[in-house]
Chains A and B, each alone.
Chain A
Amino acid sequence: MPMEPLERELLELICTTCNLREVEIDRLEGDIPLIGPDSPLGTDSLDALEIAVTVQQHYGVRMDSENNSRVVLQSLASLAAYIREQGGAKP
């Protein structure tokens, strides 16, 4: 599944936030798992926390107990869909 512009933007933001220098963005697709052992990014739960907070700061979209971050952070596509659904916008 090719990446949409928002997904690409998110991936770049995640790579910057988590200092992932060796990720080849152009080789990845939108449905890649974002966190955990199956993720090509090699990210774990501590990275997930940083991603959740960075997304909140950049797009004004909160992930907390009501908005189940586990589901939202399943893939780039699900994160992008959540931001669109919540009407998130860059400041």
Chain B
Amino acid sequence: MQTEFPHNQSAHCESGVAANLLSHRGIPLSEAMAFGMGGGLFFGYLPFIRINQLPLVTYRSAAGSILKRLARAPGVRLHQRTFRSQQQAMEALDQALARSIPVGLQTGVYWLPYFPRALRFHFNAHNLVVFAKEGDDYLISDPVFPQPVRCPAADLARARFASGALAPRGKMYYLEQVPESLEPAPLIRAGIGSVCRMMLKSPLPLIGVKGIDFLARRLASWPRRLGRERADLHLGHVVRMQEEIGTGGGGFRFMYAAFLQESAALLAEPGLEAAASALTAVGDRWRSFAVMAARICKDRPQAEDSYPAMAAIIHDCGARERQVYQELSAWLRSAPCR
């Protein structure tokens, strides 16, 4: 069961898998473009949802939403299903591979043995593509690795049925149908429109630019409310969600800026180029916060480092992002549909 598959390393698994699956079907797409067309950028601070006893902070849209949005493109049909039994799930995978179909899977990182032990953590929405089987091993294009990897069947089955938050329940998906080519302009516009709506118009104060301001206010009060030790724990968690977990840095802001830049060139739209530069500057600002936070967590603060100073930077990020999305919204209204 061998299938040629174009493996490209990426920062973020879902965008990387989406780009690789489409590229395999003759529609070359960069990771950044998949992320942007999929409306991947977001912000949410949801303190009532706890991950490892720490509040949920997310810089991207819900797991699975990028693939779902791309699957809505004209001419694209994505087959997707979950399973109750491991045996059925693995049989369905083998049947698809026997038809030379590369299959996307949702998995739990903790159970994938090819991840270095230090990098395994309980995250159940990791996407990868299985493209072949050799003996009892599956050949996998895991987008966060530089080369394809191997995984024994028993381990893959366990990873597909990891329990806990976002349990994959054996979820598998593959492209059933794709058009000869994708018309990029409508998909770019739809992706940008979705991000602008979520970031500017959410009625919830925890979502979008309002959520960024909410995080800033809460963060300023952490040392008083939680005590220094727990405040630093919360802070380290925010930084990790922003700078690690496949965000590409700056809480996905650099990746979205790359999408805007690529779109600007593709559509010859200088307005998008300006938005890309502004968003890169926002990403740098988020990083300034993260570096200050890292120094505080590591107990080596500089004179200017403090919780109020970090809150001020986050408020500034929110204000700058609001400006970027307002300009993108204006571009959507003014630029002709093509």
Contacts of B12 in A (CB 8 A): 65
Instruction: Decide yes or no whether B297 CB sits under 8 A from chain A.
Output: yes
Label chain B's interface by main secondary structure: helix
Instruction: Decide yes or no whether B283 CB sits under 8 A from chain A.
Output: yes
What CA separation (Å) do A18 and B295 show in the bound complex?
Answer: 8
Whether the pair B239, A46 counts as a contact (CB closer than 8 A) is: yes
Stretch of A2-10, A23-31, A47-55 at the chain-chain interface: A47-55
Whether the pair A49, B239 counts as a contact (CB closer than 8 A) is: yes
Q: Nearest residue in B to A66 (C-beta to C-beta)?
A: B258
What CA separation (Å) do A65 and B290 show in the bound complex?
Answer: 16
Contacts of B116 in A (CB 8 A): 36
Instruction: Decide yes or no whether B249 CB sits under 8 A from chain A.
Output: yes
| B interface size (C-beta, 8 A) | 30
**Cβ 8 A contact of B254, one of A18, A37, A46, A64:** A64
Instruction: Decide yes or no whether B243 CB sits under 8 A from chain A.
Output: yes
Contacts of B295 in A (CB 8 A): 50
Q: Nearest residue in A to B144 (C-beta to C-beta)?
A: A70
**Cβ 8 A contact of B291, one of A45, A50, A63:** A50
Nearest CB on B from A16, distance (A)? 11
Contacts of A78 in B (CB 8 A): none
What CA separation (Å) do A68 and B288 show in the bound complex?
Answer: 19
From known contacts A49-B287, A53-B291, A69-B249, infer whether A37 and B300 are also in contact, taking CB-CB under 8 Å. no
From known contacts A45-B240, A65-B248, A65-B255, infer whether A50 and B9 are also in contact, taking CB-CB under 8 Å. no
Instruction: Decide yes or no whether B32 CB sits under 8 A from chain A.
Output: yes
Whether the pair A19, B287 counts as a contact (CB closer than 8 A) is: no
From known contacts A46-B239, A64-B249, A66-B258, infer whether A36 and B118 are also in contact, taking CB-CB under 8 Å. yes
Within 8 A of A (CB), among B142-201: 146
Contacts A18-B298, A50-B294 aside, 5 further interface pairs with beta carbons under 8 A come to: A19-B298, A45-B243, A47-B294, A47-B298, A65-B247
